[in-house]
Amino acid sequence: MVDRWGLFYAYTVKSGKKVLGSSKASSKGEFSVKISAQKAGTKLTVSAKDKAGNVSSGASVTVKDAIPPAKPTVNKITNKSKVVTGKAEANSTVTVKKGSKVLGSAKASSKGSFSVKIKAQKAGSKLTISAKDKAGNVSSGASVTVKDVIPPAKPTVNRVTNKSKVVTGKAEANSTVTVKNRNKVLGSAKASSKGTFSVKIKAQKAGTKLTITAKDKAGNVSVKVEKKVVKY
């Protein structure tokens, strides 16, 4: 507030009946009153007093919210997840994005818990979760990487004979394929980027039952394939 005519001598700021601060006006009628920070929505009254002690009617000012919410805390997100959950500022609007694409948004509860529906995302996708309050202030984004919890498909295995020194077939690209005779590991190898694999083993007796599994980078293991060694 500026008193352009220099009529007023001092200014006082109140919250209800409580005086938050006061100061003298400058020779140009300008004033600056120091106060402690007030909660958003608080109504303040600013009044002026002239040299004779006469007090003006109060100017009412509502404190605006300029503080963004805290960054949300987000629970684990997997490539099976169809909701993103966590905690954010009470009653804020939580938005989940992949890059600039909005995957979903929802309002947090009065206790701050939220649940945003999304389509399941690929493992390794990076999602950003932010909260926006009623005043439009937006929090910094919480970055979460989608975890892989889906095991590879069951490998397909080519014929194995009692003369075979390699087990070949197809599995998930870049997965690790392991061949066992009961609990004994006979060998393991990494599948190619196209999913083909070749695992070196010692020749096994005809009739031996081998089990073959594939494990992805996240440690998920496929259903085992049983392959009976046949006589060459």
| In this structure, CATH architecture of domain 73-145 | Sandwich (2.60)
Residue among 13, 15, 59 at smallest CA distance from 40:
15
Give burial (CB, 10 Å; 0-12/13-18/19+) of 78. middle
Residue 155 · residue 168 · CB < 8 Å: no
| Distance of alpha carbon 157 from alpha carbon 199, whole angstroms | 11
Q: pLDDT band at 8, cuts 50/70/90?
A: low
For the stretch 24-28, contacts whose Cβ atoms lie closer than 8 Å and that sit 24 or more positions apart, written own/partner, are 28/2
Domain boundaries, the chain: 8-62, 73-145, 156-228
Q: What is the pLDDT of residues 168-189, one digit of tens each?
A: 999 999 999 999 999 999 999 9
Q: What value does the mean pLDDT take over residues 40-47?
A: 93
Place of tokens 């989940």: 96
Q: What is the mean pLDDT of the chain?
A: 94
**What order do you get walking across the sheet with 209-215 strand by strand?**
184-190, 176-181, 209-215, 225-228
Q: What value does the mean pLDDT take over residues 185-195?
A: 98
Residue 154 · residue 121 · CB < 8 Å: no
Predicted structure pTM score: 0.77
Give burial (CB, 10 Å; 0-12/13-18/19+) of 63. middle
Residue type, 182: R
| Distance of alpha carbon 149 from alpha carbon 217, whole angstroms | 10
Q: What is the pLDDT of residues 131-153, one digit of tens each?
A: 999 999 999 999 999 999 999 99
Whether 27 has a pLDDT exceeding 80, the answer reads no
Question: What stretch of H or E contains 9?
Answer: strand 8-15
Domains 73-145 and 156-228 share a fold: yes
- Distant-in-sequence, close-in-space partners of 219: CB < 8 Å, separation ≥ 6: none
pLDDT of residue 4: 46
| Distance of alpha carbon 155 from alpha carbon 212, whole angstroms | 7
* CATH number for region 156-228: 2.60.40.10
